[in-house]
Amino acid sequence: MASNDKKDPFISLVDKLRSFFGFGNHPKKQTGLPGKKHFSIWYFIFAMIAFSYLQPLLFSPKTEAILYSQFKQYVSQGLVSDLIIRPESIKGTLAGPPKRAFTTVRVNDPDLVKELDESKISYSGRYENRFLSSLLSWVLPLGIFFLIWRFAMKKMGTGMGVMSFSKSKAKIFAETDTKVSFADVAGIDEAREELEEVVEFLQTPEKFQKLGGRIPKGVLLVGPPGTGKTLLARAVAGEAKAPFFSISGSEFVEMFVGVGAARVRDLFSQAAAQAPCIIFIDELDALGKARGMNVMGGHDEREQTLNQLLVEMDGFDANKGVIIMAATNRPEILDPALLRPGRLDRQVLVDRPDINGREAILKIHSINVTLGPDVDLRRIAGRTPGFVGADLANIINEAALLAARNDKETVDSADFDEAIDRVVAGLQKKNRVMTAQEKEIVAFHESGHAIVAESVEHADPVHKISIIPRGIAALGYTQQQPTEDRYLLTRSELIDRLAVLLGGRVAEEVVFNEISTGAQNDLQRASDIARAMVTEYGMSDLLGLVSYGSPRKALFMPEGFSTGKNYSETKAAQIDDEITRIVDEAHQRVRKILSERRTVLDDLARLLSQKESVQGEELRQMLAAAP
């Protein structure tokens, strides 16, 4: 027997209304359990509207409305009875069969009562008590709005009420929620070893207490942004299988006075109830900035919050098994009271990874990425000196997106090269139109940088030269690849770096006998190096082993406050002369190099104009073949 698929019109209307108001049927989960019913505020509103319209139809008796003139005729004929005369209406019963109720509007008719008495029709009046109706007219809507408000407050949760400002906004992760372990951390082995001991404090505190040792109260993670400070804190909680309270320093302070201090108290009371656990305060500098740095004076809300934090950390019993961890990349502005022993006992440096660390980080982030056979993570790590974990994760992600955009099956070496170029130099500006003259100037400019870099002894080898515009203002770039991580620079290396920076400007002078604005950033960086050599590094024979750099700013000085220079005007003139001399000597040296290799300069610029990108190996072959 065929089933009838045609829906009833009323059911179709209800389905459309449910779809319009957004509370359609919720499918059952695939777990075999009955689906969860979701209540919506639209159910309540729709029910109230329907009840308002259906009440007169379902619960009120059927009454016929007649004209007053008809009513007068029925009175004269004696066809009405049981009249109820009200100030604005008259209700009664019409003779049948069948009898039926009627109502009519009362008009000013002085003879009505006399006619009713003559026709011997029973009638009565009714006093209208409006108190109850007027009371219900505002009590009932008020009650409805109260119910809606209660429902909305429950939906928003306990942390959104008016009286919840003093509640801590810390996100609490249970023992099983923090699924990060030390296996997810790479490139910062020294910091990880320090924190492995913190895990041991939480797991076996009696091992240290039996010898009279005291468990550290707090650990401060210090390092540049993106090095993995928050990841380390989560790894500690995951390894220790302890509850993890995570909050940012800025979430304590509000516009209301006293709220921050109340939140600090609430956070520590919750932590004490769930010990052993970890409290992690990210971006501690937002809360723990040194007191007294407010140039406007006064005892502001942030300082009250910091005072409460210091009190709570002091009154906290370390043997309860609560470890306070904090992270910052600006330790120099923290209040000294935070850093003293007994509060943040240990300061762990989370530094930029070396080449081995970068390779390990790349391996972790590329676990779920399908790499091509030509990808060498060691080579990628060598091309990214100074990169932190967040930068390396971004490179892996960018390379994967580029490969997917080009419909590749694997992420190959070319995708990683383009991803590094994107992160370092910015996005390609393929639609930027350059005149032929501008393109030629940029080609010779970048060729000058590359040839000088390959000609001096201590410069990093050239990896790629490109005249494709990238980023905000870069019309081209010369990319050098360090052979190893460097932590010290000698005077000869700095002088060679000066020469490489001046290579583009000097190439324009040699070829065009004219200069452009393209060397602005190069000149600024060259001037900074020369000034640092003279004033900070003591590399000037004339000025000797004296540092003329800016004096160190006192801890409690407000930011931007300068105490001025600490040397005389005569010494300032000598400093300027020495800086000029160093730059001029580098300029003459570069001019000589490019004049001797003018043929290679012309050939490389011509090749760049054709291909827009030249690899370092091609340049080295051209230099080897040149006389």
Q: Please state, in angstroms and rounded to a whole number, the distance separating the CA atoms of residues 587 and 515.
A: 14
3-state SS, residue 32: coil
Closest by CA position to 319, among listed 403, 236, 215: 215
Burial (0-12, 13-18, 19+ Cβ within 10 Å), 406: exposed
Judge whether 302 and 289 are in contact, CB under 8 Å. yes
Nearest in space to 65 (alpha carbons), one of 99, 103, 98: 103
β-bridge pairing 100-105 and 63-65: parallel
In the block, which residue shows the tokens 């008009």?
107
Between strands 462-466 and 613-615, the pairing is antiparallel
- The two tokens of residue 185 are 């951390």
* Greatest Cα-to-Cα distance within the chain, rounded to the nearest angstrom: 140
For residues 102 and 70, give the distance between their C-alpha atoms in angstroms, rounded to a whole number: 11
Here the tokens at position 547 are 């540092």
Under a CB-based contact definition with an 8 Å cutoff, are residues 384 and 480 in contact? Answer: no
C-alpha to C-alpha distance for 363 and 416, rounded to whole angstroms: 14
CA distances from 76 to 69, 87, 117, 124 (A): 11, 22, 11, 18
Q: What is the CA radius of gyration of the chain?
A: 41
C-alpha dihedral over 9, 13, 18, 22, to 10 degrees? 130
3-state secondary structure of 502: helix
CA–CA separation, 45 and 57 (whole Å): 19
Joined together, the tokens standing for residue 98 give 């069948």
Helix (H), strand (E) at residue 417: helix 413-425
Under a CB-based contact definition with an 8 Å cutoff, are residues 439 and 467 in contact? yes
User: Out of 446, 454, 508, 578, which one is annotated catalytic?
Assistant: 446
* Distance from C-alpha of 324 to C-alpha of 303, rounded to nearest angstrom: 20
Is 196 a known active-site residue? no
Is there a contact between 605 and 582 (Cβ–Cβ < 8 Å)? Answer: no
C-beta of residue 481 within 8 angstroms of C-beta of residue 382: yes
Please state the φ and ψ torsions of residue 339, each to the nearest 5 degrees: -95, -5
The residues annotated with a catalytic role in the active site are 446
